[in-house]
């Protein structure tokens, strides 16, 4: 028997809100998920965030990057508005690039337990050096 639409999406509180409150840090943000409509079929979901911003934990200067999250869903899929708010929460968060990418990976894995996932961050050059960080799960 197919679940009612209201039952399937009952946990999506952020998408239902008319007003958006922006979390001040990733700790305050909440990743939400919905049931995978095709759990027996392996397929790829790719989120592309070309305007990621965080702050250097030493200088407090802004760091800009391009984040791509690519995963194969298992039982749950990541809801995009919740992901947008979560990524936005890094805007004033002091973190190194390596920490940010691995934190994003760990938080998404915790939220949806995908079959596999890769998080890639390509950060703009600072001091003449660009940094790309990639993290994968399972290892």
- Which of 19, 27, 56, 77 is catalytic? The answer is 56
Cβ-based neighbours of 101, under 8 Å, separated by 6 or more: 67, 119, 120, 121, 133, 134, 135
Q: Is 63 a catalytic residue?
A: yes
Q: Which of 98, 139, 138 is nearest to 120 (CA)?
A: 98
Q: Is residue 77 among the annotated active site residues?
A: no
The one catalytic residue in 7, 27, 49, 63 is: 63
Nearest to 34 by CA among 17, 18, 1, 10: 10
Which positions are catalytic?
Answer: 56, 63
């Amino acid at each position: 028997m197919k679940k009612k639409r209201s039952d399937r999406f009952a946990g999506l509180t952020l998408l239902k809100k008319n007003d958006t409150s922006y979390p001040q840090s990733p700790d305050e943000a909440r990743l939400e998920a919905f049931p995978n409509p095709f759990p027996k079929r392996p397929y790829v979901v790719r989120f592309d965030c070309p305007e990621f911003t965080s702050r250097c934990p030493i200088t407090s200067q802004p760091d800009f990057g391009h984040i791509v999250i690519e995963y194969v869903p298992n039982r749950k899929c990541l809801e995009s508005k919740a992901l947008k708010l979560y990524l936005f929460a890094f805007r004033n968060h002091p973190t190194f690039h390596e920490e940010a990418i691995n934190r994003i990976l760990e938080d998404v894995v915790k939220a949806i337990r995908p079959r596999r996932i890769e998080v890639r961050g390509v950060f703009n050059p600072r001091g003449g050096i660009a940094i790309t960080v990639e993290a994968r799960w399972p290892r």
